Amino acid sequence: MRRTPAWIALACCAAWGAAAFAGPAQDALSPAGPQAAHIHTLWHVMLAVCTLVFAAVLAAFLIALWRAPRADAAAPPDLDAALRPERGARRSVLAAVAASTLLLVFLILASFLTDRALARLSSENAVRIEVTANQWWWEAKYGDPQPSRTFTTANELHIPVGRPVVLTLKSSDVIHSFWVPNLHGKRDLIPGRTTVLRLQADRAGAYRGQCAEFCGFEHAYMAFQLVAEPADRYEAWAEHQRQSAAEPGDDTLRRGRELFLTTTCVMCHAIQGTDASARRGPDLTHVGGRRDIAAGTMANTDDNLARWIRDPQRFKPGVNMPASNLPEDDLKAIVAYLRSLS
């Protein structure tokens, strides 16, 4: 690698990162909701102004080069220019300063109006979700006026299309940053403080989110998905999430549940309807129905889940989950049980 050109090394790193996080694109230039649309408009305004300023500065530079006096090495120095006033140059500088001031005021006003527009999203009939960032995964608690109807999931949020969502953001350890660029801008999560973010999705889809504040060794692997779906599908999903884990249907699944409840798994994870109630790691009550595992690091398949349980450090170096030395048959039974929890 020492002799590898820097641009080749960077390209390899980018390709590796894209492969590791294959999934829905994060794209702030493809807004899917009113909040992202306001930010998108402001971005275009700033891009246009900055492009205009850059072009004007470049044109002034080229004109100055073109009009500069020419002389050879034998020509005597011309000191008269330092003594006579340059009214044209002075007018040009004053005009440039005035134009720059007006453009800066315009950008400040545009930013202010955008911020006002972001704050105008209604909270009436909103879905309320409490999102807690942990090193290095996301917990989502869906609130309800009836406490018995609240439920908790992890690393995958579902919201109904066309309905406002109020996210209460918290951190359990260090500073994180919640960012779903297709739907809204970044919002920091600071330990000991509560932040509120309002967003809405106007079209169905799965949008990738990411922690946007360096939060430790596994920061780059702290992703999540936000799934926007029609109201009826969302309600069906939410009602299913409120249910306890399904009872095992055969001996293999029963064996998997027994192993889960008698090994180190139970020390960190919860499965509603069983004796597992720990909160150190993600809630696994319906883990089989999620698209990804390990906070967006791997697709949720039998093979990936087995490899993740066997040696999580291989895929997420620094992760807090310990490796497992279970016999192959026991590992398959646990994977089968977890995958049945859809």
Residues 101 and 219 in one domain: yes
Residues 115 and 160 in one domain: yes
Mean pLDDT across the chain: 88
Q: How confident is the model at residue 9 (pLDDT cuts 50, 70, 90)?
A: very low
For strands 156-160 and 223-229, give the pairing: parallel
246 domain residue, yes or no: no
Mean pLDDT of 182-204: 93
Residues 222 and 290 in one domain: no
Query: What is the per-residue pLDDT for 304?
Result: 94
Question: Are 121 and 35 within 8 A, CB to CB?
Answer: yes
Residues 275 and 142 in one domain: no
Give the SS3 label for residue 253. Answer: helix
CB count, 10 Å around CB of 43?
14
Environment class of residue 330 by beta-carbon count within 10 Å: exposed (0-12), middle (13-18) or buried (19+)? middle
CA gap 4, 1 in Å, rounded: 5
Q: Residue 339 pLDDT more than 80?
A: yes
187, 203, 238 - which closes a domain:
238
Residues 203 and 313 in one domain: no
Nearest one of 203, 215, 220 to 163, comparing CA atoms: 203
Mean pLDDT of 97-110: 93
88 domain residue, yes or no: no
334 domain residue, yes or no: yes
11 domain residue, yes or no: no
Which residue range forms the structural domain that includes residue 272?
Answer: 251-340
Starting at the earlier edge strand, list the strands of the sheet with 176-179: 156-160, 223-229, 205-211, 176-179, 187-189
221 domain residue, yes or no: yes
Mean pLDDT of 47-74: 86
Residues 58 and 203 in one domain: yes
Give the chain's domain count. Answer: 2
Residues 183 and 154 in one domain: yes
Enter the DSSP assignment of 332.
H
Nearest one of 39, 14, 17, 19 to 27, comparing CA atoms: 39
Cα 55 to Cα 43, 48, 98, 102, 311: the distances in Å are 18, 11, 17, 17, 54
Q: Maximum Cα–Cα distance for the chain, whole Å?
A: 101
Query: What is the per-residue pLDDT for 22?
Result: 42
Q: Residue 147 pLDDT more than 60?
A: yes
Query: What is the per-residue pLDDT for 318?
Result: 86
Most confident listed range (38-42, 58-62, 63-67): 38-42
Query: What is the per-residue pLDDT for 63?
Result: 86
Mean pLDDT of 96-101: 90
- Distance of alpha carbon 63 from its chain centroid, rounded? 45
204, 238, 272 - which closes a domain:
238
Mean pLDDT of 79-93: 73
Query: What is the per-residue pLDDT for 189?
Result: 94
Q: Residue 77 pLDDT more than 60?
A: yes
Q: Residue 2 pLDDT more than 60?
A: no
Least reliable range by pLDDT among 74-78, 188-192, 255-259: 74-78
In 44-54, which positions are buried (b, 16+ CB within 10 angstroms) versus exposed (e)? Answer: eeeeeeeeeee
Residues 179 and 261 in one domain: no
Q: Residue 21 pLDDT more than 60?
A: no
Nearest one of 142, 165, 209, 170 to 34, comparing CA atoms: 165
User: Which CATH number goes with the domain that contains 289?
Assistant: 2.60.40.420
177, 205, 238 - which closes a domain:
238
Query: What is the per-residue pLDDT for 242?
Result: 94
Please report the sign of the dihedral spanned by the C-alpha atoms of residue 172, residue 175, residue 181, residue 183. Answer: positive
pLDDT digit string, tens, across residues 262-310: 998 999 999 999 999 898 999 999 999 999 999 988 999 999 999 999 9
Residues 137 and 266 in one domain: no
Question: Are 220 and 66 within 8 A, CB to CB?
Answer: no
Residues 130 and 228 in one domain: yes
Q: How confident is the model at residue 187 (pLDDT cuts 50, 70, 90)?
A: very high
Q: Residue 4 pLDDT more than 70?
A: no
47 domain residue, yes or no: yes
Residues 149 and 214 in one domain: yes
60 domain residue, yes or no: yes
8 domain residue, yes or no: no
- Phi first, then psi, for residue 306 (nearest 5°) are -65, -45
Residues 206 and 303 in one domain: no
Query: What is the per-residue pLDDT for 81?
Result: 65
Q: How confident is the model at residue 82 (pLDDT cuts 50, 70, 90)?
A: low
